[in-house]
Structure formats: structure tokens, C-alpha cells
Amino acid sequence: MTTNTIAAVRDLRAYYITNAYGVRRTVKAIDGVSIAIRPNEIFGIAGESGCGKSTLLKVMLGMIEPPLTVVEGMVGYAFDGQSVDVLAMTEAERKRIRWKQVSYIPQGSMHVLNPVRRVHDTFLDFITVHHRAPRAEVETMIRDYLRDLGLPLQVLRSYPHQLSGGMKQRVTIALATILWPKVIFADEPTTALDVVVQRGVIQLLKEIQQREENTLVVVTHDMGVHANLCDRVAVLYAGQVIEEAITQAIFKDARHPYTQYLIRSLPKMDDKSERVSIPGRPPALDNPPGGCRFHPRCPQAMPICREAAPRLATIQTDHRVACYLTPGEVDDGNSD
């Protein structure tokens, strides 16, 4: 890992392996993923449901429980010049870095808050477990933080059911970021929220990132969120990264046919021209197609696409594509 990387995944293969009644089933949710996330950036992970986004997140957070098994690869972080290997850690060591160094905003945050405790108590519980400090200090810390984020202090006295979905989501974001984590993962932070509230949540995430200068990893299928928030975006398809570039390039100069489809299928305001959805559907990951995994749906598939999977290659600075149509310099997985 070089100095310009805060979190890295290398050649990761993580499968769900089940063994029921003698039938062994392997779902290859993550199959050979390498990404390097830089300090002080907002990194987006895009893809349809079932492409392995959430599994990648679980492995990066060290939340690996059977049937999820890491078959191969490395997941590491670099904090203050010291690198740590998540997969080699014990559960106790992982607990020590969780929330304080690496934090996580789960999907469907509305269900995360304890329904029978006031928000204030949830904050107190959370902080006292991870951060030893006198009670009075913790109290002011909570108040100051909420005030800084522009959340009304009344929420502290409320029970979760008294808050709207958007407010609950913002409270959860505050909770996940109050201990100054260096890397924050957000899983579908705006899904299931109204547009106006969505915008508030995106603003809040951006603000926290800019203020604390930490690293934010946003996982969502909503390309609008990526366009608005991220510095760089990686597109996942069937458990593999098929394209990775700075946001501008992903939206204006996508090279992989899948990414091109993804961008072109999005409806735009002020444009009623016909949009086509991607033909077919994502492959089942227990038996993915051979060669390039997109070839059965690809309009430009060539014979070679059926035979061997293309490797992720750098075609320009900060632009990597896995497609035979755009040959580039294949790196050895240590690009950053």
C-alpha cells in the first residue's frame, strides 16, 4: 500500500458457501476486486442490486460471518502511517477500530435506532462504549455536534417513531460520524427517502466530509447521487469492477458498454426522448457466464468475450476499464 491510499482491497474473492443436505452451492458475490481509496475523497460504488456492492462493504468492514467466506485477497487500511490488515485481525481488534476509525451508515437507517429509547440515550450508550469521557463532556459533545450539523436539539428528547424518515436518517448519520472516523461507509444512504429529504442527506454527508476531511465511501445504485457527490466512481457488475474513473469521466466518457447503458438508460429532466433499459438481467452469481460476465447482454460482444474475461486495464490516468474494446495497460493490482 502506498502513501496515497487509506483503504485498499486487493484481488478479493468473497463467496457465500452453503452446504445444505449435501448440496454445495457457491455464490461468487465478489470475484477478483481490487480498489484503492484515497484519503480525503468521496468514492462511489455503483451497480444494480445483486452485483455484490453490499458484500464488498461487509468484507471491507470486517463483518464476515458464514456463509460469507473470504477465499482470497487482502483488505487493508492505513491510519497515521500504520497499515492494518482487516482479515488478519481478531474480532476484538476489529471492534477497536470500528466506529472510531472506520464507520458505517447502514442501509435502512430508520430501523437502526432503538425504538424504546430516546435518541439522547442511544447517543449516550453508543459513545460511552467506544469513547471514555466524563458524562458532562459527552453531553456537550452530543449537543455541539448536532448543532454543528444543523439538526434541531429537540430530536434528542424524541423517540425514533416521532421522527420522520429523513430525520431518522440524519440522526443515524450523526451517530455514525460523531467519533471522528477516518473512513465512513454509507450503504444506500438516500434510498427510500423523498427527493427533498434526499437532497438534505446528500448535503449533510458532503458537509461532514468537507469539515472533517475524512474519506467517504458511498454505495448506491442511484447514479444521480454519484454524479452529485462523488469524486471517483467504481462500477460493479456481477461481482467484478468493470470500470473505475473520476466522476466526470464515468458520466461523460464511459468506455465499458455496461456503464454506457447504465448512464444512457437514466431519464433526464427536460428530455423526453426514448430511453432503453438494459436488455436481459444480471447473471446469477452461483453460475456466472464464462468469459466477460457482461457478454450475454452486450451488443458489441466479440468471440473473445465468450472465452476469456478481460482484465481491468488503465487506459488513462485514473480511468480503468475491463473490456476488450478498450485495450489499455493491464496493471498488476498495485496501481495506486
Partner 1 sequence: MATATEREENLLYVDGPSKVFTIRQGLASTRFVAVSQARFTMHDGTPEIFTLAGESGSGKTTLARMILGLLVPSNGRIEFRGRDVTLITKHDRRGFMKQVQPIFQDPYATFSPLKKIETYLYETVRNYHMARRADARRYVEQALQAVGLSLQEVGGRYPNELSGGQVQRISVARALITNPSLLVADEPVSMLDASLRMSVVNLFKKLKEEKHVSVIYITHDLATAYYAADRIAIMLRGWIVEMGPVENVLGHPLHPYTQILKQSVPEADPDKRWHDKTALAALETEEYLRAGCRFAGRCPQAMDICRQSEPKDVFAEGRTVRCHLY
- Do 168 and 115 meet the contact criterion of CB atoms below 8 Å apart? no
Closer to partner 1 by Cβ: residue 224 or 289: 224
Question: Measured on CA atoms in the order 181, 232, 31, 1, is the torsion positive or negative?
Answer: negative
A 10 A CB-CB count for 299 gives 8
Q: What does the DSSP 8-state code read for residue 68?
A: E
In the range 46-105, which residues lie near partner 1 by CB under 8 A? 48-50
Beta carbons of 217 and 7 less than 8 angstroms apart: yes
The helix or strand, by DSSP H or E, that contains position 139, with its residue range, turns out to be helix 135-149
Residue 68 vs residues 25, 56, 62: alpha-carbon distances, Å: 12, 11, 11
Q: How far is the CB of 195 from partner 1 (least distance, A)?
A: 4
Residues 22-51 that bind partner 1 (CB under 8 A): 48-50
Q: Of 2 and 248, which CB lies nearer to partner 1 in the complex structure? A: 248
Binding mask 161-190 for partner 1 (x = CB under 8 A): ---xxx-----------------------x
Are the C-beta atoms of 145 and 168 separated by less than 8 Å?
no
Site residues (CB under 8 A) for partner 1, limited to 270-289: 270-272, 275-278, 281-282
Of 238-257, which residues contact partner 1 (CB under 8 A)? 247-248, 251-252
Q: Omega before 152 cis (within 30°)? A: no
CB of 72 to partner 1, least distance (A): 29
Residue window 133-162: x/- pattern of binding to partner 1, with contact defined by CB under 8 A: ------------------------------
CA nearest 74: which of 44, 34, 37?
34
Q: Does residue 268 touch partner 1 according to CB under 8 A?
A: yes
Instruction: By CB under 8 A, name the binding residues for partner 1.
Output: 48-50, 164-166, 190, 192, 194-200, 202-203, 221-228, 247-248, 251-252, 261-263, 265-272, 275-278, 281-282
